[in-house]
């Protein structure tokens, strides 16, 4: 997937009230895939609106490449477990993200943060083949600037940009 065309980036990058954020989208040319390729993608129906309730402590999965680690034979990412660690829908510290608590590492940035839902929970609003809601995009670890790095351990909290940024980035 080319990232540049005529020397210019082809991605769209997100902005927050505090400036640029590390979420970007790039259009994929589906004709470049072999005809036998099977893929499924999140649709707007799979994005959880920040105004929809999600309980603190709800189980999440983060699919990515921590420290570049993955199943090398088939180029498959690994899945880590996390939970919602701040009030979903209330932008943490006024930024466009919520907090997750999970053991995530460098290299996981950009990974989808998903919550499994049953058809009973969502009725028929979700396509049946993909029972996940995309809550956000993992950004990185949150470090508290006031901690003493010699005395205080890291909190182990992470930032996930709300998935609605993807709708903003994909508008025509």
How many CB atoms are closer than 10 A to CB 106?
11
pLDDT exceeds 80 at position 152: no
Q: Model pTM?
A: 0.80
Among 44-48, 64-68, 81-85, name the most confident range.
81-85
Residues in the chain: 172
Segment among 18-27, 28-37, 53-62 with least mean pLDDT: 18-27
Nearest-5° Cα angle at 126, 121 to 131: 70
More confident site: 158 or 156: 158
């Amino acid at each position: 997937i080319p990232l540049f065309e005529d020397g210019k980036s082809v991605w769209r990058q997100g902005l927050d009230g505090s400036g640029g954020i590390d979420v970007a989208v790039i259009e994929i040319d589906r004709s470049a895939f072999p005809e036998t390729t099977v893929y499924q993608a999140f649709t707007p129906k799979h994005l959880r609106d920040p105004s929809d309730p999600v309980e603190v402590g709800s189980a999440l999965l983060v699919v990515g490449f921590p420290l570049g680690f993955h199943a090398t034979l088939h180029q498959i990412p690994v899945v880590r477990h996390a939970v919602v660690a701040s009030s979903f829908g209330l932008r943490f510290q006024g930024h466009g993200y919520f907090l997750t608590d999970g053991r995530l590492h460098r290299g996981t940035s950009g990974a989808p943060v998903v919550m499994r839902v049953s058809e009973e929970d969502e009725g028929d609003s979700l396509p049946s083949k993909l029972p996940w809601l995309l809550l956000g995009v993992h950004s990185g670890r949150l470090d508290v600037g006031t901690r003493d790095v010699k005395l205080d351990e890291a909190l182990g909290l992470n930032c996930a940009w709300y998935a609605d940024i993807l709708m903003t980035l994909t508008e025509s």
